[in-house]
Amino acid sequence: MDAFSPFKGNGTSLFNSDALVPNPVRYPIYHIQAPSLIPGLKDNYLALLAPIVAYWAYSLFFYVLDLDIFEWPSKYRIHESEEMRSKNLASPWDVFLAVVFQHVVQTVLGVFWLDESGKNTRNHLEDMRQLSMQVSWIIINLLGHDRGSAFLQASGQKMIPWLYWWGIPIVQFLFAIFIIDTWQYFIHRAMHINKTLYKYLHSVHHRLYVPYAYGALYNNPLEGFIMDSLGAAISEYLSGSTNRQATVLFVLSTLKTVDDHCGYRLPWDPFQILCRNNADYHDIHHQALSTTLANLGSSVGTSYSARV
Residues 94-149: pLDDT tens digits? 999 999 999 999 999 999 998 876 555 678 889 999 999 999 999 989 998 888 88
SS3 state of residue 264: strand
Count CB neighbours of 125 within 10 A: 13
Q: Where does residue 24 rank: exposed (0-12), middle (13-18), buried (19+ CB within 10 A)?
A: exposed
Sign for the pseudo-dihedral over CA of 221, 300, 178, 206 = negative
The torsion angles phi and psi of 41, rounded to 5 degrees, stand at: -125, 110
Residue 94's nearest CA partner among 235, 214, 269, 245 is 214
The structure's pTM equals 0.84
The single-letter code of the amino acid at 240 is: G
CB count in 10 Å sphere of residue 64: 12
Q: How many CB atoms lie within 10 A of CB 50?
A: 19
pLDDT value of residue 4 = 40
Query: What is the reported pLDDT for 270?
Result: 92
Cβ contact 169:246 at 8 Å:
no
Distance linking the first and last C-alpha atoms of the chain = 66
Mean pLDDT by 10 residues, the chain (308 residues): 37 61 88 89 94 98 91 85 73 95 95 74 86 91 88 90 96 96 94 93 90 93 94 94 94 95 90 81 66 39 36
Q: What confidence score (pLDDT) does residue 107 get? A: 95
185-212 per-residue burial string, b: 16 or more CB within 10 A, e: under 16: eebbeebbeeeebbeebbbbbbbbbbbb
Residue type, position 183, single letter: W
Predicted confidence at residue 190, as pLDDT, reads 94
pLDDT of residue 84: 60
Q: Note the pLDDT of residue 302.
A: 39
As a whole number of angstroms, the distance between CA 254 and CA 279 comes to 14
pLDDT score for 41: 93
The closest of 269, 247, 244 to 258, measured between CA atoms, is 269
